[in-house]
Structure 1
Amino acid sequence: MQVHQLGEGVPEVAVVAGIHGDEPCGPRAVDRLLAADPDVERPVKLIVANEAAIEAGVRYTEEDLNRAFPGDPNGDTHESQLAHHLMAELEGTTVLALHSTQSTAEPFAVAETVDEIARAIVPHLSVSKLLQTEGLAEGRLVQHPHTIEVECGLQGTDTAAENGYRLVREFLAATGALPTAPPTGTGPEHAADGGELKSEQYGGSNSVDVFELVDAVAKPAADEYEVFVENFAEVTVGERFAAADGEVFTADESFYPALMSPYGYDDVFGYAADRVGVLADRSA
């Protein structure tokens, strides 16, 4: 695990890349930021997590790191031990974790819940969608308090790396680490703290559609898979959404597909989600 720091003092802001070794956009974004060496107004910790998987060009060496949190210092796998050490590095920080996906080229944000951190930060990122994972994120870093994940784009592409760098700088600005911070009155201490997110807009023009994961969409064993739908576009009752070895699956009830792709996961096509509201930049 590589740990770098910009600025002096104890960091309260962190960026994590390389949780999966086959997602190079995050490490490329971190390397680019280190090369730029920007003047920061708050110290920032930059972490490249699973160096062994990155060097081997694989998603993980023994266990999916993003299913291994909080980890175990005496765990049986490299990733279990690494998860423990990574959590220790992130204690007391607000975190942006960089990923890429096989499901969509458009960047989007992921959060465990729509809390004050998500409300304060996500509208300042160049994303139009936020996926809430509450209850369906066991073992993932996003469960760490004050953590936002971003899917930067299609896995292995230069565009995802460009998106990742831009999203990192936007995150650092939104948290006051870079001088282009959001206007006074938009930080977490000023964010709305009230209750369950409803289907309503919270002011401002930089709005983000919020989706909530409902369930995984199972994928049977097969040699060839297809996905017919676009992520975050509603699938209606009776509409076909995927196929396995030519067997077509249709929707029993309407849903919004999220993280759906033919080969992104071994045992699921992706997830079904509900659209639950809109999050907006309260400074606009």
Structure 2
Amino acid sequence: MLKHLFLLFSVFTVAVCFSQEVETSVLGTVINSSDGTPMESVNIVNLNQVLGTTTNSKGEFELKAQPNDTLHFSYLGFKSIKVRVTNDWIKYGASTIELTELALALEEVVINEFRLTGVLEVDILQVPINTNYRYSISGLPTTGYEAGNRSNSVTKVLGAIFNPADFLYKMFGKKPNEMKKLKQMKQDDEIRNLLASRFDREMLTVLLQVDRVDLDEIVRQCNYSASFIQTANDLQILDAISECYEEYKVLSRSRKKGRL
């Protein structure tokens, strides 16, 4: 009798372990809610597992997911939505996701033309000069800080050693899961490709659970210029935050050793 119970228990244990190791995924089709047409190249991210994909020409997608995971759907000009993964979705197959188009009011864009004279010495003065410089700090394995113009570059570099660390710790020190997501995002090729094509910061704010204002402030406190914050794509912003945080950890360890 005991042998039978032990055998039954062993089989049950193996079955439970096997079920936990099985990877599941969800299938679906994304359509335009106004006319039902399939939408290609919609960005889809599993916020829990930090995995991403895009829809094909038929609006179809497949993404690894577990029950209760949250998927984030986004597309330029459409309202982003979050969809929770259910057991039924995984069990019974594809689901249809509808995205609603936004009414966008385009702002007036003012383009300042260069009035060229044909005289090189005069025309060259009209070309805007990028006054951002990158400085490396000895002992830190990075490309360095973007320190602005030369007049205050030294002050900014020195300030960057102390200010970003404290600010980043306040933002993420009590949120180790968010910092873990940074590493996951950098390692997932699909996520990196999605971020490289975006400039709206939406995916970053959703994944890191911070507001857009806080996200910009983090990059600013890491001594990146206003022009970089305004023009960088989401992948560049991600790399900037990740680089700054890694330097913070190096400096933080050095401070702790100095106190011992």
TM-score range, shorter chain: under 0.3
TM-score by length of 1: 0.22
TM-score by length of 2: 0.24
Higher RCO structure (Cα 8 Å, ≥6 apart): 1
**Bigger helix share:** 2
